Structure 1
Amino acid sequence: MITPLPSAGCASSPQAERRSPSCPRTANGHGRPGSMRLADTLRLGAYLARTRWLLRFRNRAAFDDWQRRQVQRFLDKHLPLSPFYRDYAGQPLSALPVIDKQTMLARFDDMNTAGVSLDEATRVALAAETTRDFAPELRGMTVGLSSGTQGTRGVFLVAHEERARWAGIMMARTLPNALMRRLLIGARPVKVAFFLRANSNLYTTLKSRRVDFRFHDLLRGVDCHLPALIEQQPDLVVAPASILARLAQHAANGALPIRPQRIISVAEVLEADDKARIEQAFGMNVHQLYQCTEGFLGYTCEAGVLHLNEEFVHIEPEWLDKERTRFVPIVTDFSRTTQLIVRYRLDDVLRVRLTPCACGAAGRAIEAVEGRCDDVLWLPGAHHGALVALYPDMVRQAVTSAPAALPDYRIEQHGMAWRIAVADEAEASHAALTASLQRLAARHALTPPVFQRMPFADTDAHVKRRRIRCVGRPATNQENHA
């Protein structure tokens, strides 16, 4: 559900460390690994400036009018280049089909404009995952795989010009003013430490004389990277929430003496207990980036509010409740021209922010990315029997009222059975969590589940942590929403 940045240090793969920067590309003859052409450098700078200082609108109506023109220009120019969308050329966005991951993979060959087949893209991406050498490209394009949190792994394609565009937008959205000044006119580079399961040429686009970008491979764990992290003294630390929480524990214990200027959470839901732990250890607010295979979808503004990146991505809300407080986003990324993302339905649940943000950003403010649709738990109403949705934040709030269950827990729904695990395995902790979840069901007048205890299993560093998961709903065809 989220991602961003990368490069050397103990995190680099042995293959990448041995590769000389001047080594010619051997896979496809398209230049040096991670090299950027002058045109791409200029494009990066242009998008940085445009995103940071130029895209300003009087009000939401003015922005909506501007965005409609951008989307129409994208549809007119790029839809005819894709065999899948060729027959839809000239039609409005609303007339195009809503697709999902299964459709994208089934029609991958027809949906991209580069003539790349799913087989060859997957072959290159899997080779990179196996060797941990993420430099090779396919016909000059970056190929990558999603983490496969929900089973099937998505595949993405990004061309050189799209990488430069992404890098410019990313730096504009993430750098505080002091680091932006250093990037543009400072004597020292901006230092970024990036932790993720896999590297990518997309991320290494950010590496330059002005940006000391170091990728830390989570397949190797976390603790092995501490010496390199201390040596680099990063200005930005970017990592999944669970990894940031581990780094915060090391910092609180005095084992990680670093003073970053910004902490950014990616790839996982940032839960309240992790957020508090990270902020206490590093003495600053945690920012978030909401990015996935389908695009760069959201970021935290300087006021600390999460915004959708609607200057580059059109979002149609598929509302989940009649009050319109939560929705699933249907995404059209009008900045991507190689792998077209048009009316792509994500599986994420977003919660609307009820009060406006004063920062002036055009993108609508959201309170949280709560998780995936299969993180929603379901119980029948005690009086009507229809299934009622308990959204992840409702469950997390119940957990926080049972602090004995923290710092870590797992909840899995299997029909009317909820399997519960707590990190310390103590009977009292399990009982406290069970009681809190019973109160949650009673508060919404729901039939309580049968609680079953299961062993606690920690998540490997390279695997996205999911504390709440619906494996199977109770058997009924009726649904409602809490």
Structure 2
Amino acid sequence: MKPSKLTLLRYYALTRHRSWRSRESLERWQEARIVRHLSRVRLASAFYRDHWGERAVTDWRTFPPIDKKLMMERFDELNTAGIRKERALETALAAERTRNFQPMLGDITVGLSSGTSGSRGLFLVGPHERMAWAGAVLAKVLPRSLLHGERIAFFLRADSNLYGTVRGGRLQFQFHDLLEPMDRHIARLEKDKPTMLVAPPSVLRMLAEVALNGCLRILPRRIVSVAEVLDPLDRLYIERAFGQMVHQIYQCTEGFLAATCPHGTLHLNEDIVCIQKEYIDAGQRTFVPIITDFSRFTQPIVRYRLNDLLTERSEPCSCGSPMTAIEAVEGRCDDLFELPSMRDAGATVPVFPDLLSRAVICASPYIEEYKLIQVGPDRLELALRIAGHAVRETVETSAIRSLADLCGKLGCRMPFVALVPYAHEPDSRKLRRVERRWGR
């Protein structure tokens, strides 16, 4: 049967009203669905049959993991829709060139990731999955009931039939292409008066600046950060401009992974995906997620190792949800700095992006924006946007001293820091405030 808006409404209701009494009951529910899902995947995906060998699906936790490189190499055998990578890529690239994101392959949505890790990924979503995704997203993100209706302004690099699924009925959904000039976006926002703003934090930051200058007069009920890591500095600025908390969606090519609860805490969407934790630093509660999505069949995601760093909250959220609460999405593993050890010659010390971010933003209240890039084994570039009335030299010295203090605490040698001009314009590239360009 062809899925309809009734499918969307069903998943909306299930997501809003489904609950578990304990973490144990959630995990039992997950396990039953994963085993049932993987039994179907084994029959339909030649890649996974070969990859898992004779292992029973009940032993899925020990299946060999995959990553983006392997998924793209075996794309034709992995997906269950019989779609070849060349054809999917041709469709996705044509949409990027023409900015017409409506064409599909039959009833399958095809999309292209932004490729910030250096390699782009393709994703396929079937019609049932598309409706289920839309129902879950609306249940977790809308500030009020679906019956109220919202006017949603959505800023992203590319539109998709996936996003377009939420259009219609009481919802007004306006896509804002990041390749268009900002003044055009401002004019549209003034005209549409959206009740929801959904955008990367770098775009929300620019809109917040315009609002504080009195040139954008909108009163959204909810602001949602997507696509980029939400830096604490940007969060505070956006919240001050719009007078409300910033919510988050953590989503990537591989799935709808997390969303904030009414308390503003980011929770893993463990009613959609199971996330195993590969701890990088158990003491800091920082891990790399390994995803098994038991809601996607067209392009199954099973034991998929992401390139992201997540940090768990030390305390459960007061909302009472048994789903894992996340302190921060810190960025990509590739952006973990490696600095020379002071104790062991030739050794390096890993430094997490979150520690570097906090060292910079806590150095001075006059730092408005920043970028910190590792460009060599013992060389960093620091770009600061500083409040106009502050003394730049004083702020820069404080930032470098704060980084030196961090290095001392971690036992690594302080690298040379080159001060460079700050610049960022929102476009198809994601903003990364902490980035490693050396040793990749």
Same fold (TM over 0.5): yes
Residue 228 of structure 1 corresponds to 188
Residue 34 of structure 1 corresponds to none
Question: 2-side partners of 1:203 and 1:212: how far apart?
Answer: 12
Deviation at 1:384, TM superposition (A): 2.8
Residue 380 of structure 2 corresponds to 418
Q: Is 1:45 equivalent to 2:16 in the alignment?
A: no
Residues 221 and 462 in structure 1, CA contact (< 8 A), matched pair in contact too: no
Residue 34 of structure 2 corresponds to 71
Deviation at 1:429, TM superposition (A): 4.1
Query: After the TM superposition, which of the residue ranges 450-459 and 69-78 deviates more from structure 2?
Result: 450-459
Deviation at 1:407, TM superposition (A): 1.9
Deviations 1:19-65, CA, capped at 9 Å, x for gaps: xxxxxxxxxxxxxxxxxx97321110110000001x21110011111
Q: Is 1:255 equivalent to 2:219 in the alignment?
A: no
Q: Is 1:357 equivalent to 2:317 in the alignment?
A: yes
Residue 466 of structure 1 corresponds to 432
Question: 1-side partners of 2:139 and 2:371: how far apart?
Answer: 37
| Partner SS for 2:244 | coil
Residue 172 of structure 1 corresponds to 139
Residue 401 of structure 1 corresponds to 362
Q: Is 1:141 equivalent to 2:108 in the alignment?
A: yes
Question: 2-side partners of 1:321 and 1:266: how far apart?
Answer: 26
Question: 2-side partners of 1:406 and 1:222: how far apart?
Answer: 24
- CA distance 1:220–1:279, change in 2 (3 Å): same
Question: 2-side partners of 1:405 and 1:85: how far apart?
Answer: 53
Q: Is 1:82 equivalent to 2:49 in the alignment?
A: no
Residue 307 of structure 1 corresponds to 267
Matches within 5 A, 1:269-418: 269-323=229-283, 325-385=285-345, 386-403=347-364, 406-413=367-374, 414-418=376-380
The structure 2 residue matched to 1:453, chosen from 398, 419, 432, is 419
Deviation at 1:409, TM superposition (A): 2.0
Residues 3 and 131 in structure 2, CA contact (< 8 A), matched pair in contact too: no
| Partner SS for 2:152 | strand
Letter in 1 for 2:22: N
Q: Is 1:438 equivalent to 2:401 in the alignment?
A: no
Question: 1-side partners of 2:49 and 2:66: how far apart?
Answer: 16
Deviation at 1:389, TM superposition (A): 1.6
Deviation at 1:404, TM superposition (A): 6.7
Identity in percent: 45
| Partner SS for 1:423 | strand
Deviation at 1:435, TM superposition (A): 2.1
Greater RCO (Cα-Cα under 8 Å, separation 6 or more): 1
Deviation at 1:263, TM superposition (A): 0.4
Deviation at 1:159, TM superposition (A): 1.0
Deviation at 1:293, TM superposition (A): 0.2
Query: After the TM superposition, which of the residue ranges 440-449 and 210-219 deviates more from structure 2?
Result: 440-449
Q: CA RMSD in A?
A: 1.8
Residues 340 and 377 in structure 2, CA contact (< 8 A), matched pair in contact too: no
Question: 2-side partners of 1:322 and 1:50: how far apart?
Answer: 34
Deviation at 1:473, TM superposition (A): 4.8
Question: 2-side partners of 1:222 and 1:256: how far apart?
Answer: 12
| Partner SS for 1:63 | helix
- CA distance 1:291–1:158, change in 2 (3 Å): same
Question: 1-side partners of 2:317 and 2:370: how far apart?
Answer: 33
Residues 114 and 338 in structure 1, CA contact (< 8 A), matched pair in contact too: yes
| Partner SS for 2:46 | coil
Letter in 2 for 1:415: P
TM, length-normalised to structure 1: 0.86
TM, length-normalised to structure 2: 0.94
Q: Is 1:239 equivalent to 2:199 in the alignment?
A: yes
Residue 26 of structure 1 corresponds to none
Residues 155 and 200 in structure 2, CA contact (< 8 A), matched pair in contact too: yes
- CA distance 1:381–1:405, change in 2 (3 Å): farther
Letter in 2 for 1:462: S
Query: After the TM superposition, which of the residue ranges 374-383 and 449-458 deviates more from structure 2?
Result: 449-458
Deviation at 1:444, TM superposition (A): 2.0
